[in-house]
């Protein structure tokens, strides 16, 4: 029992560190987010911090995972479908450090054997599933036609969202939510058979 108590305490501290690292990265980006500051904010020394995460790479990967969980809970509503996805995108525009972390790690994950590869493979599967759900919600509400190719829509919307992040980081005047919202309107419009007058 003592052991389980120990474990629970360790897990709670890990969660606390992740919540703090999430804030620091959102504010400052991965390059400037120092171990010292993260450790100080959770009342640990730097070696104490590295007891919970053996490398910065591991810490930042877990930040990405914690961020997905938080965003999904806080901004995504399955009942709203695509609107829930847009809420996440709109929120992203306020956390450039996390957007950059995602862009950087998703690029590196394409290397065979990279620490983040399995995470991104699973994440793409998960987000594709959310997109298929979003299409089905629209079909049930007759906002989209019955013959939508959901695999195509999922690949495309996710790709556009990912690509827009790079453009937005280079030029913050790009309105990611506007671009994606119009893409979705286009997919809706194209999902109905053309009526010839």
Binding site for a copy of itself (CB under 8 A): 29, 31, 100, 103-104, 106-111, 117, 120-121, 124, 152, 155-156, 158-164, 166-167, 169-171, 174, 179, 182-183, 185-187, 189-190, 194-197
Closest to a copy of itself by CB, 49 vs 116, is 116
For Cα atoms 192, 162, 125, give the angle at the middle one, nearest 5 degrees: 75
Residue 67 Cβ, how far from a copy of itself at the closest point, in Å?
Answer: 17
Distances (CA, A) of 93 to 86, 161, 162, 172: 11, 12, 13, 8
Closest to a copy of itself by CB, 137 vs 153, is 153
Residue 43 Cβ, how far from a copy of itself at the closest point, in Å?
Answer: 31
Nearest to 56 by CA among 115, 123, 15: 115
Closest to a copy of itself by CB, 29 vs 42, is 29
Closest to a copy of itself by CB, 9 vs 182, is 182
In a 10 Å sphere around its CB, with 0-12 CB exposed, 13-18 middle and 19+ buried, how is residue 194 labelled? Answer: exposed
Q: Where are the beta strands (DSSP E) in 34-82?
A: none
Residue 8 Cβ, how far from a copy of itself at the closest point, in Å?
Answer: 35
Residue 174 Cβ, how far from a copy of itself at the closest point, in Å?
Answer: 6
Closest to a copy of itself by CB, 140 vs 169, is 169
Residue 11 Cβ, how far from a copy of itself at the closest point, in Å?
Answer: 30
| Residue 145 near residue 192, CB atoms below 8 Å | yes
Distances (CA, A) of 189 to 67, 80, 185, 186, 195: 33, 19, 6, 5, 12
Sequence-ordered list of residues with C-beta below 8 angstroms from that of 164, at least 6 positions apart, any chain: 174, 176, 179, 180
Closest to a copy of itself by CB, 68 vs 108, is 108
Residue 107 Cβ, how far from a copy of itself at the closest point, in Å?
Answer: 4
């Amino acid at each position: 029992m003592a052991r389980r108590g120990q474990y629970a305490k360790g897990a709670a501290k890990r969660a606390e560190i992740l919540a703090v690292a999430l804030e620091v990265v959102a504010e400052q980006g991965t390059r400037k987010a120092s171990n010292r500051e993260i450790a100080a904010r959770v009342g640990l020394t730097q070696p104490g911090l590295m007891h919970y995460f053996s490398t910065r790479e591991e810490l930042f990967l877990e930040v990405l995972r914690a961020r997905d969980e938080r965003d999904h809970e806080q901004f995504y509503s399955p009942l709203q479908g695509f609107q829930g996805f847009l809420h996440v995108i709109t929120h992203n525009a306020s956390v450039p450090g996390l957007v950059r972390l995602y862009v950087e790690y998703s690029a590196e994950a394409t290397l065979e054997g990279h620490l983040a590869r399995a995470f991104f493979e699973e994440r793409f599967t998960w987000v594709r599933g959310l997109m298929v759900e979003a299409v089905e919600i629209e079909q049930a509400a007759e906002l989209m036609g019955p013959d939508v190719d959901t695999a195509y829509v999922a690949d495309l919307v996710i790709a556009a969202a990912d690509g827009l992040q790079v453009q937005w980081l280079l030029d913050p005047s790009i309105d990611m939510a506007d671009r994606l919202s119009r893409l979705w309107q286009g997919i809706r419009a194209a999902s109905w058979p053309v009526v010839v007058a």
